[in-house]
Chains A and B, each alone.
Chain A
Amino acid sequence: MAKGRVSIVVERCKACGFCVEFCPTKVLALSSAFNSKGYHPPHVVHPEKCSGCDLCGMYCPDFAIYATKVLAGGGDR
């Protein structure tokens, strides 16, 4: 099971590709869909490979993507 989950704020994205290029496990790809400004935001192509490292979030100059760790076994933290 994936250790992380990515969230994408599609409307903030300017399609620079930083997140796609520097995700260590190649979870992301730029999609063919448009946001309202005409950019192609990324989408998740390999959800199972996401470690939740949040490097995509650190690289994104537009604060449009971030990742969270999935806590196995539940709990309320």
Chain B
Amino acid sequence: MPGSLINDLGNPVEPFLRSDRMPHIWCPGCGIGTTVNSFARALIESKIDLQSLALVSGIGCTGRVAGYVKLDSFHTTHGRAIPFATGLKLANPKLNVVVYSGDGDLSAIGGNHLIHAARRNIDLKVICVNNLIYAMTGGQTAPTTPDHSITSTNPYGVFEPSFNLPHLVEAAGAVYVARWTTFHVRQLSRSISEAFQKKGFSFIEVISPCPTLYQRRNKLGDGLDAMKYYKEKSKVRHGAPTNEVGLTMTGEIVVGKFVDRDRPDYQTMMRTQYTESLGERFVEQPEMVCDCS
């Protein structure tokens, strides 16, 4: 085209992917890949040094993210992404540690780790892809599955109350709490960038389609139908009281940044305490250097 030039730098997400593993295994219309786009944009925007970044996942469809990103990543056992990430952070405080996992992994089998990491204010950035179900294992009821949903373990409808994750982690002590859906690609990316600026336990919930194992049983259509529902029924309410943001099967989805506050993180509290009680006898741990290049 004379007089013009295409500045073709390729897909911005590509440098963050293990391209040889594409196409990925996620179903058509699954939202997990869309969240990865927002994550990649946030890494670019916040100019994070990739050498100082580690990404940790648990098990599940979402847990696969650890295997698809070209970053230092680890796919831990089910529910144990947060303890693994905590260990990384304690051993090497300079790392930016991201936990990228599913609602079941983080709030069911890993639920204790979630609340205690928030309580201790461990400096982790948790991205929770909430598809309202245990997807990978066949669509069993998760602690997040909304009332009346049909699942493989509740074929007559879920009757147990579900977790409202933003409320749970706020009560436990998180310093940054936001929720978006996969429709809100730019807002999600901005929230992830903001979380990188925070010191302490940050939690970003992303409501995401699972057409195969959640929506089909509930006659909620395909991935695109879920996206249209998010577009139509989401309401941005920054600072909304988190006890008001619980989810239902087809109702309004309150999105936005709910919590942004500061309190000392675990390592700061530890240093303060040791300095206070040990005085000069307290010696900082020497910095960990990995010489495995």
Binding site for B on A (CB under 8 A): 1, 5, 7, 9, 11-12, 14-18, 21-22, 37, 39, 54-55, 57-63, 66, 68-77
Total residues of chain B contacting the partner, CB 8 A: 40
Contact A75 B5 (CB under 8 A): yes
Indicate whether A63 sits within 8 Å of B13 (C-beta atoms), given known contacts A58-B38, A58-B41, A73-B4.
yes
Q: How far is the CB of B102 from chain A (nearest CB, A)?
A: 15
A-B contact pairs, 8 of them (CB 8 A): A16-B28, A16-B223, A18-B29, A58-B189, A60-B33, A62-B33, A66-B11, A72-B3
Q: Which residue of A lies closest to B2 (CB)?
A: A74
Give the Cβ gap from A73 to chain B, nearest Cβ, in Å.
Answer: 6
User: A18 near B227 (CB under 8 angstroms)?
Assistant: yes
A-facing mask of B143-186, CB < 8 A → 1, else 0?
A: 00000000000000000000000000000000000000011011
Q: A55-B185, A66-B11 are in contact. Are A61 and B5 (CB under 8 A)?
A: no
Interface residues of B in 125-151 (CB under 8 A from A): none
Q: How far is the CB of B159 from chain A (nearest CB, A)?
A: 32
Chain B residues with CB below 8 A from A73, complex form: 3-4
Residue of B nearest to A57 (CB): B11
Cross-chain contact of B7 among A17, A57, A71 (Cβ < 8 A): A71
B8 touches A7 (CB 8 A): yes
| Known A21-B228, A57-B37, A61-B30; contact A74-B5, beta-carbon cutoff 8 A | yes
Please tell me which one of the listed residues A16, A57, A63, A74 contacts residue B29 in the complex, with CB atoms under 8 A apart.
A16
Tell me which residues across on chain A come within 8 A of B186, comparing CB atoms: 58
